[in-house]
Amino acid sequence: MPTMRAVVVDTPGDPDQLTIRDIERPEPKPHEVRIRVQATALNRADTYQRRGHYPPPEGAPDTLGLEAAGTIDAVGTDVIDWAPGDRVCALLPGGGYAEYAVAHAGHVLPVPNGIDWIQAAAFPEVFLTAYQALHWLANLNEGETVLIHAGASGVGTAATQIARLHDAIVIATASAPKHDICREAGAQHTIDYENEDFAERVPAITEHGADVVIDFVGAPYFNRNIEVMATDGRLVQLATMGGSTVNDMSLRALMAKRIHMHASTLRSRSDAYKTRLVQVVRAVLDGYWEAGRIAPVIDSVMDWTRVAEAHRRMEANANAGKIVLQVEA
């Protein structure tokens, strides 16, 4: 039975529970490809799963890792669009923290010429999530104002770049030391959430309010998000890092502004949904990526043997952009 090295969590808990050891190497199903992983990237969901709070979907590997980049080394019997040797990155339901990972063939993207493995590994999750949020859920129009919370995060910086492709006005919230990262991604305005109230700053920036709000914080921001939104505004809730229960919510406030609210997680979406999303993102964003007009913001690159350190950095909110684990030098 062929084996491979992978990061495993034998007992849910703190980062010290992450270890690398041999497990069975996966074989691609008829609709899958197998990737020899060069690099993978951290996502907040990995830390939740490590603690036992975010179990993988049915049928997914129980090892961590929602994206990876590398070279295809085997394809399933039904796969016709990919071949061994193709340079790719992929959206995964799990299993990216390993020497080999299997991916649905429809969830794979080609790595453009000139893009290295580090950037490729950091691309799928954040740009697919950001594109879905802005275009499929919020229906962003050119020139609108977008408020992006956690603006220095991987998804936050990706959303900023996509919004700017459509001439949107971007307001990003982040701690003050991360404001340069937000501006480099394209945000015209930044708010220091530690020392400023965005409910006061946003009206000073735009009289009509934010047309779109992308939020990861949840309950502590909900009422203030509604307060600063424009009429017919769209709120997209992608996480609840600050809590999930909103106290004293006024439905009248939502109705008065005709607010549209969308809540979404990408991991639990159907294979067909993810395939359509990948197809659209390839058609729309591949040219921008290859030309260098968009790119994942990289916080740090670590050898995957330092995976516990990488998780600690993310949980301390010390990163700005993506933390990438290099699996093969």
CATH value of 131-263 in 3.10.310.10, 3.40.50.720, 2.40.440.10, 3.40.190.10: 3.40.50.720
Amino acid at 309: E
Q: Are 151 and 176 in contact (CB under 8 A)?
A: no
* pLDDT at residue 329, as a whole number: 53
* pLDDT at residue 114, as a whole number: 93
Distance CA 82, CA 76 (A): 10
**For the chain, what are the domain ranges?**
3-123+267-326, 131-263
Q: How far is CA 217 from CA 150, 207, 326, in A?
A: 8, 24, 29
DSSP 106: G
Please state which CATH class domain 3-123+267-326 belongs to.
alpha beta
Q: Which residue, 145, 178, 141, 184, is CA-closest to 161?
A: 184
* pLDDT at residue 1, as a whole number: 82
pTM to 2 decimal places:
0.96
* pLDDT at residue 249, as a whole number: 86
Ranges in the chain, pLDDT < 70: 329
CB atoms near residue 29 (< 10 Å): 16
Q: Are 269 and 102 in contact (CB under 8 A)?
A: no
Q: What is the pLDDT of residues 223-275, one digit of tens each?
A: 999 999 999 999 999 999 988 899 888 899 899 999 999 999 898 899 999 99
